Structure 1
Amino acid sequence: MFALAMASAGLCFTAGIQAAPVTDGAATAPAGQTSTPQDDTSKTQKPEEKNTLAKSLSGITVTGYSNSVEKSIDYQRYADTIQNVITAADIGGLPDQSIADSLTHLPGVSAERIAGQASQINIRGLSGNFIQTTLDGREQPSTSGSNYIQFDQYPSELINMATVYKSSQASLITGGVGGTIGLQTANPLENSKDQSLNVDARGSYNGQAHDVTGARALGYRLSAAYQGKFLDNTLGVGLGMAQMYQPHVSEQFVGEASDGQKYTLANGQSAYLPQGIQLQQNGGEERRTGYMGTVVWKPTDELQLTGDGFFSKFKNESFGYGLRSQNFYGNNAQITNPVFSSLGTMIGGTVSSNPAGVGGNQFSNETTADNYTTVSNVFSGGLNLKWNHGPWHLDSDVSLSRAASHQINVDTTADPYTGLGSANPQLMPQSLTYMLHGRGIGTASFANPGAYTNLSDMALSRYGVYPYVYHDKMKAFRTSVKYDLPNNSWLSALEAGVYMNNHNYRADRSVYVYGSEWNTSPVAGQPPLTLNGSDAQTTCWKGTFGSFPCFLKLNGPAILAAHGITATPVKDWKNSWSEIQSGSVNEKTRDLFVMADIDAQLFGHQLTGNVGMRMSRQSQYSYGLQQVGNGAGVPIADGYGVISTDYAPIKVGKTYTDYLPSLNLIYHLTDNDQARFSAAKVLSRPPIDLMLAGAGSWISNGQYNVWGGTSPLLNPLRAQQYDLGYEHYFDDSSGALTAGVFFKHIDSFIQNVTYNNYNFAAAGITVPTDPTTGKPYLNGQYQTAYNAKGGNLRGLELGFSKTHFLPGIWSGLGVQANYSLTSSSVRNPTNLGGPTTYIGLPGLSRRVASGAVFYDNGPFSARVSANYRSSFVSDTQIAVNNQLVTFASETVYDFQTSYAITDQLSVVYQMLNIGNQPTRTYFGGNTSQTGTIQYFGRTSYLGLNFKM
């Protein structure tokens, strides 16, 4: 309705300009000419399909978002695979925050919002670890530290087309059990103009920033793209730049997880207890700069050479300040007036320090300062050759792609003390009364709130730095040869190809810690550090969080510097995990494929599609350190120069081969109706961070036990999948009605497991000698990752789009609507909510829907859109380790509009997250067990777009 109102308002501006509509600035193929969505899967279109496509594209003149919808319909209609497409008019005409936002407009596609932005993509109920992503046909490295791509790394302004492949074919790079996302930059030789320039500048405003102390509300987006054709259209040059600056702001209420154990309270009750609660303001800024360059040389109609590169750097500053009440469990606090959830886990009550001489004294309402600033970058580039001579078609590509991510991860805590400055300062007795409110903000009150802003009482207890550094690099080569069969009654072409990829992943951990949290384990020479007014400023809450007590905003590095201390994180044997969790994984992929394109007549109707086989051979080996103990290792120095002989370098891995058949059939019932069937065997590689070889160990009762939670011996995630669908296309590409069902059987999912009496020697793990017996220790526990039993995934997808269904001036009105229903038999165990419960498959929302109403009329364009997903499970919430939690259902509304003042200049306005939809999580599948309630605010953009 909002879009209709804006459309009505725009009519007075557009009525007199109908004779000369402004053309869309995105590249539009001339009649009869199309570009392929992804280089490595391009298919020469059949003559009759080209004629039909030319007719549909030239039948009506459209602009704006309607143009995008209609071009996308044509790509979907004539594709051999089941796919959905976003074209440049959608992405570049009214740009979303990132390509992730654009992808969520497609059926069955949803996004996980990280720090308020769409980041990880889920397809058909499967998380990003089941999704393959390419850019210009090249497999993309990841900045996430795992397999999934963080799509907010990719500026939407630099992407010309995005295709989501939901069924597989032999020429597709392996990895897409959930689907494959093919991103594509523009080919300047396909631009409709000889020279074009597009400059876009927008200012932004975030309304949440005023509630976060020190946060800035203003930001901007700036992009410029140039395309030119030279030397009689044989040389094309494309250049692009996109820059974003915006505040990183949020406010959050956090209920922390349980350890899954029952404790006996003072009143004799037995209950599960959470670790604590948190109240936090989060501020900072986000800066992303992307560059793209392409040179295309086509000296003849038969030969085309392309060199291109893409680079993006994203600096996401994230500083969290607030209060954290900790150590409810472990008999570290007194619990009174407890309130329990249906799981028997405490969700409210009064928590107080233990009396002197009773249990431990580790309960505190800490003042916290966290720094989760991440700097990441992605580069992808290469050389491509295409040669077409008669029936022969050659496509070869060599590429280098690399990604790096560095998260600083700082945890600073301060507590109220008695006896500060003495030889033995003690935690001040404290008390908290709280109540969780499920998916809403809970309550919290402190017995002595003034203590937490009193510089005479507060001191820094601990300063910890735990950097996460990841490097991900791929060197790849692919080539394919296709031979057309124009006179064959069943096949139109035969194709064969090779794909090789050397993939190297490296994780580096380091650590620096000053002091001891709550000063419970005092370190010699590291007492609590006193504070001053310049390094610890009183900060209060506003708005919805205004009832919570004030706190001190700590500047941890400045506090340390005032006491002559500099934090330098290194690998450290005292924190042996920093050595064990560092290591590398090397993967080598060697694939061959053969494929035949089908074009036949069956029962009087055309049958098209393809059938093929892909052979994929994979080698995966990891290098790390294993703690063997008893000096049975080799001398290794840590970052402080300390030598240990308790560790030994190891190399563990395996090689395997898979044969992956695929079939895609399209039965053309009428000119506008077709049915599809697809079947394939597919696989996704194990998450690469779970294949690290490093492991620690301990000795108990004469047994050797190993911990680590990772394994280089993991099998890939194999699946068999089937699709059946029906598609009806309206005349002149003005819309489509689609319906489809799908089924996947996934052989295994990766989970953590503890084996007892594990045969370490058989797995190649060295067992040290027991000095009391002179023989190897007995086999004990092995805590690792393994391929757990898989399950089925099934679903229904519906899609509808229509433009030009009203007469006259309202012909520019259009609608889009998508709905998917997905279910799975897979359940994951978790005890973060207290007792062990079983929650769903990560990434699966039972219901996903999106809709848009848009209006294009001459220079005026408007669109209001909504994206809904029901609750889903994910492990992207991080405490110390990633946590498996349930994300509550959410609906995000966006509005975008533009008006062309002249043929070259337009004014653009956007409002994103109109309803300030929070991210809400809970533990154990129980909505009363609050995880995180996080508000990010709504963002408005206003700017100008210049085209020539």
Structure 2
Amino acid sequence: MLLFKPSLLTLALAAAGASISAYAADDATNTATADENIEVVKVTGIRRSLQESQSLKMSSSSIVEAISAEDIGKLPDVSIAESLARLPGVSAQRLDGRANVISIRGMGPDFTTATLNGREQASVNDNRGVEFDQYPSELLNRVVVYKTPDATVMAQAIGGTVDMQTISPLAHGEQTFAVGLRGEMNDLGSLNSGSDDKGYRGSVSYIDQFADDTVGIALGYARMQSPNQEERWQAWGYPENAAGDSVLGGAKPFVRSSELERDGYLGVLEYAPNDVFHSVVDVYYSKFTDDQRLRGIEIPSAWGANGGVEAIKSEAGLVTEGVIRGAEVVVRNDVNKRDAESLSVGWNNKFQINNNWAVEADVGYSKAKRTDIGMESYSGTGRGTGVGAVDDLGFVNNGNGGYTFSHGLNYADPNVIKLGDPLGWGSPLGANTQDGFINKPEIEDELKSFRLSAEYVLDSSALRSVEFGVNYTERDKSKLDKGYFLTLKGYDGTNPNYTMAVPEQYLLSPTSLDFFGMGNVLSYDSLAFYNDGNYTETDVADVDASRAVNSWDVSEEVTTAFVMANIDTDVYDIPLTGNVGIQAVMTDQSSNGTASTLEGGELVTNANYDSASYTEWLPSVNLGFAVADSQMIRVSAARTLTRSRMDQMNSNIGYNYEENPTTGVNWTGNAGNTQLRPWLARQYDISYENYFSDQGYFAVALFYKDLENYTYKQTSFIDFTDIVPPQNPTDNPIGSFEQWQNGDGGYVQGVEASLSVDFGMFANALEGFGTILSGSYNDSEVKETPDSEATTLPGLSEKTFNATVYYENSGFEARVSSRYRSDFLGEVTAISLTRQNVNVKAETVVDAQVGYDFSESGIDALYGLSILFQVNNLTNEPFTSYTGDDQRLVRDYQNYGRNYMLGANYKF
């Protein structure tokens, strides 16, 4: 529903073929037809994107933010997540050097739902959150963030809903063929042997209309081969020494080189033979491969150093300089490889029965599949501790991220560093037998949906229309978690000192670790060595009860009935528009899992099934008061839900027995919980929006989310006697048991403001200059139980700020953008590819780009050609996480370098 009458420029954009979502195609076509005689104002580039985004924000009945493509195949940034992170109240977390997950209004990725053309998407991660780097920005036309829901939004979430929209070929209205190609380079160079610091991105799009503009097609293909380099410092932790100072427990610094390959395909077929029937089929497919090579050294310090740690200098309770005596290290040659596929198919049909009745039917299918390889290969000076050569390693805190070392041994010498188990980590085959490890998890996610709805338009009433319908979805997600201990086939256990020199055919040029002072290290193709059958594999699930309950299957059937009344009236001569509605969400959820325990030293597993059902009522109201010309006050209230994490809803139950003479508690257990209810919140919003030009507005919003519950891991002490047979008659039967539970609630509150200004409105000399500014302040508090200590939500940054300054005139474009977010609790990859929450340090990321559109040059032969030079992470901002509240205790310091891109687009 339109809250403002379209301005001349807005209508001109529609008439000129401004591309919008397929679901808005009818309205755009009708508007263009009705106003064929208006003068078309040609708007391109940055300003086109800003004006279309502003037009959508003005016309929406909800509080939304939007990003629109500057042209076919050209969103403002190289990734969707980076573009989203520039919107008010939205922030992104970088992972492996790229932004791939987002937080909305302080709510982490778990509280955000992503849709494609309005349909919820399956995801390749362990939960529901969509990783946005799976979707090529070149194939999307617009992305809309819904901060307040209405009853017709099926994929609601407490944080917000991100809807990625493809182009409508009939609304586009003209034949277009566009190609783009960019080369890119990372300024850190090729950090690992065999890696590449150069890559490319290419895309091609074709849009056309046939049969007197009743049939439209849009086809697109985008390929990316993108390099990524990283210098990374990791610490095990910081225990206290005898003097009470925190000291480095151990470290695992390394360099990572990765190559990200992605092929994306898009097809849209649109059919509108008359004013009665409109049909759209859209198909999206993506194939995604991320190949990472990691080489570095693992250094035991306070935890594991044979000769201990000699502290030389301490500052404010932290040892900043010292020597690790008799250090034995592990040289690591690791591989992380991810293969993922995503498919989304949708078919939408609209029937205009008469002037009052319209019916819509929508069918959707989404599937995602992921296969990972996480391999670790170890080498050192001997098998087991106290066997090989040792080193005295000096270390000095570098004041930025971690420590700089000095060393004596040559860690790149294949005659010194050999394959084996240098630290005696061991495996079920015996002591000193873990020469490597490999994880092979697989994720499959399948989602089917069907929606049937109708709208009745009232002829004369304060209610413009009433919409009602039902939506049904089925979702099945499974994880198969396989892991294997690796032992060299040449080691039979009879020679405790057995090591193996790396065969020459696998040796690579040494890798430099100069960034933290350790010089070169031995490098080899560990994955090829593994694939050639040089290791004996031992399945972890056969010997480790905890691994046996890592695999799971979770299913959901959700039926949502909804009704919503659209309002269009006056209250005391103030135009009032909006909606009021309610959803009834009926859910059946179930899980097939495993119950495992150790009986008599043997692992015993049994199938375990659990299910639950519930119904939640979600009312919502969105009201917009046009208090003055182009000024709006919006008020919204709603009850929203975010479904529990699927990896927490499994029905797995695991028990373990290990004698603990210190505590006397020998039994431990853990479980998922299929009975988990969704997160629920009552949220309230108010905003003021002032649209003072077609490319300028000011908005400020306040919001409060009253969280009704909170999901946490509860630890209980229970009697294990009735669960598992006693191991020893004298054992204490009381043990600890952990399970995910719905706990107490809390709140999230905040304020956000945004300003978009075209400076040309002030003076002709400033024509083409402009800026977009936004900032937010968030606060949260949640409790596991009424008596527990309050904590903040994961993913919440107290402060965020975004700024873009641009110039666009006579074909020339330039912009500098920065985004800041304060400290937050982020989610990162931990041991065995599990996810872990850590404290992340505040960061400011700056990007810049310049370009020229030759369509403005007057050279006919170059019409349609544009060139672009872009630098991402211009100031080389690192990603830093830390332990506890002391930011000096750096847990993880990641230096990504700068990415340079040079490319061209051509549109026929």
- Aligned position for 2:879: 919
- Relative distance call for 1:557 and 1:938 in structure 2 (3 A) is closer
The range that moved more, 499-508 or 848-857, is 848-857
Letter in 1 for 2:413: T
* Matching of residue 351 in structure 1 with residue 324 in structure 2: yes
Once residues 820 and 388 of structure 1 are traced to their aligned partners in structure 2, the CA distance between those partners, rounded to angstroms, is 43
Once residues 36 and 215 of structure 2 are traced to their aligned partners in structure 1, the CA distance between those partners, rounded to angstroms, is 29
* Matching of residue 378 in structure 1 with residue 342 in structure 2: yes
Aligned 8 A contact 2:365 2:449 in 1: yes
Once residues 752 and 523 of structure 1 are traced to their aligned partners in structure 2, the CA distance between those partners, rounded to angstroms, is 44
Residue 528 of structure 1, CA deviation: 3.1
* Deviation string, structure 1 residues 837-868 (Cα, Å, up to 9, x no partner): 98642111111111112222232222221111
Identify the match of residue 715 of structure 1 among 677, 683, 689: 677
1:58-69 to 2 correspondences below 5 Å = 60-69=41-50
* Matching of residue 293 in structure 1 with residue 254 in structure 2: no
3-state SS, counterpart of residue 688 of structure 1: coil
- Aligned position for 2:55: 74
- Aligned position for 1:873: 825
3-state SS, counterpart of residue 449 of structure 1: coil
Aligned 8 A contact 1:628 1:648 in 2: no
Q: Which ranges in structure 1 are unaligned for 5 or more consecutive residues?
A: 1-23, 354-362, 633-643, 830-835
Letter in 2 for 1:737: F
Identify the match of residue 890 of structure 1 among 843, 859, 866: 843
Residue 777 of structure 1, CA deviation: 10
Identify the match of residue 159 of structure 1 among 131, 140, 145: 140
Aligned 8 A contact 2:18 2:172 in 1: no
Identify the match of residue 453 of structure 2 among 458, 480, 488: 480
Aligned 8 A contact 1:276 1:324 in 2: yes
Identify the match of residue 69 of structure 2 among 80, 88, 91: 88
3-state SS, counterpart of residue 745 of structure 2: strand
3-state SS, counterpart of residue 474 of structure 2: strand
- Aligned position for 2:381: 416
Once residues 497 and 321 of structure 1 are traced to their aligned partners in structure 2, the CA distance between those partners, rounded to angstroms, is 56
Once residues 714 and 528 of structure 1 are traced to their aligned partners in structure 2, the CA distance between those partners, rounded to angstroms, is 50
- Relative distance call for 1:428 and 1:888 in structure 2 (3 A) is same
- Relative distance call for 1:73 and 1:558 in structure 2 (3 A) is closer
Once residues 248 and 368 of structure 2 are traced to their aligned partners in structure 1, the CA distance between those partners, rounded to angstroms, is 37
- Aligned position for 1:847: 799
Letter in 2 for 1:30: A
1:457-496 to 2 correspondences below 5 Å = 457-461=417-421, 462-488=435-461, 490-496=462-468
Q: Count residues in correspondence.
A: 868
* Matching of residue 857 in structure 1 with residue 809 in structure 2: yes
Residue 432 of structure 1, CA deviation: 2.8
* Deviation string, structure 1 residues 464-521 (Cα, Å, up to 9, x no partner): 1111211111011112111111310x211111121111111111111222239xx9x9
- Aligned position for 1:671: 629
Residue 595 of structure 1, CA deviation: 0.6
* Deviation string, structure 1 residues 202-243 (Cα, Å, up to 9, x no partner): 111211124554432221110001111000111111100011
- Relative distance call for 1:460 and 1:824 in structure 2 (3 A) is same
The range that moved more, 685-694 or 746-755, is 746-755
The range that moved more, 743-752 or 322-331, is 322-331
Residue 604 of structure 1, CA deviation: 1.1
1:206-217 to 2 correspondences below 5 Å = 206-217=186-197
Identify the match of residue 815 of structure 1 among 771, 779, 798: 771
* Matching of residue 548 in structure 1 with residue 509 in structure 2: no
- Aligned position for 2:130: 149
- Relative distance call for 1:647 and 1:340 in structure 2 (3 A) is farther
Q: Which ranges in structure 2 are unaligned for 5 or more consecutive residues?
A: 1-8, 422-434, 855-861
Aligned 8 A contact 1:215 1:249 in 2: no
* Matching of residue 392 in structure 1 with residue 357 in structure 2: yes
Once residues 837 and 320 of structure 2 are traced to their aligned partners in structure 1, the CA distance between those partners, rounded to angstroms, is 19
Aligned 8 A contact 1:252 1:279 in 2: yes
Once residues 339 and 117 of structure 1 are traced to their aligned partners in structure 2, the CA distance between those partners, rounded to angstroms, is 37
Once residues 67 and 590 of structure 2 are traced to their aligned partners in structure 1, the CA distance between those partners, rounded to angstroms, is 38
Once residues 219 and 394 of structure 1 are traced to their aligned partners in structure 2, the CA distance between those partners, rounded to angstroms, is 48
Residue 623 of structure 1, CA deviation: 1.0
- Aligned position for 1:505: 477
Q: Give the CA RMSD over aligned residues.
A: 3.5
Residue 666 of structure 1, CA deviation: 0.5
Once residues 522 and 508 of structure 1 are traced to their aligned partners in structure 2, the CA distance between those partners, rounded to angstroms, is 31
1:273-312 to 2 correspondences below 5 Å = 275-312=249-286
Normalization by structure 1: what TM-score?
0.85
The range that moved more, 690-699 or 285-294, is 690-699
- Aligned position for 2:152: 171
Aligned 8 A contact 2:102 2:108 in 1: yes
Q: Which has the higher contact order (CA 8 A, sep 6+)?
A: 1
- Aligned position for 1:231: 211
Q: State the identity as a percent.
A: 27
Identify the match of residue 106 of structure 2 among 122, 125, 136: 125
Once residues 86 and 651 of structure 1 are traced to their aligned partners in structure 2, the CA distance between those partners, rounded to angstroms, is 44
Once residues 802 and 687 of structure 1 are traced to their aligned partners in structure 2, the CA distance between those partners, rounded to angstroms, is 41
* Matching of residue 905 in structure 1 with residue 905 in structure 2: no
- Relative distance call for 1:115 and 1:307 in structure 2 (3 A) is same
Normalization by structure 2: what TM-score?
0.88
- Aligned position for 1:607: 576
Once residues 889 and 177 of structure 2 are traced to their aligned partners in structure 1, the CA distance between those partners, rounded to angstroms, is 53
- Relative distance call for 1:609 and 1:427 in structure 2 (3 A) is same
Aligned 8 A contact 1:859 1:900 in 2: yes
* Matching of residue 241 in structure 1 with residue 221 in structure 2: yes
Identify the match of residue 757 of structure 2 among 783, 802, 805: 802
Once residues 889 and 925 of structure 1 are traced to their aligned partners in structure 2, the CA distance between those partners, rounded to angstroms, is 13
Residue 364 of structure 1, CA deviation: 2.7
* Deviation string, structure 1 residues 864-898 (Cα, Å, up to 9, x no partner): 21111111111224244433212111111112232
* Matching of residue 100 in structure 1 with residue 81 in structure 2: yes
Once residues 149 and 395 of structure 1 are traced to their aligned partners in structure 2, the CA distance between those partners, rounded to angstroms, is 27
Identify the match of residue 735 of structure 2 among 759, 780, 786: 780
- Aligned position for 2:748: 793
1:386-785 to 2 correspondences below 5 Å = 386-389=350-353, 390-417=355-382, 426-437=387-398, 439-446=400-407, 448-450=408-410, 453-461=413-421, 462-488=435-461, 490-515=462-487, 527-537=498-508, 539-541=510-512, 545=515, 547-559=517-529, 565-566=534-535, 572-630=541-599, 646-699=604-657, 705-708=667-670, 710-731=672-693, 733-757=694-718, 767-770=723-726, 778=733, 780-785=735-740
- Aligned position for 1:9: none
- Aligned position for 1:180: 161
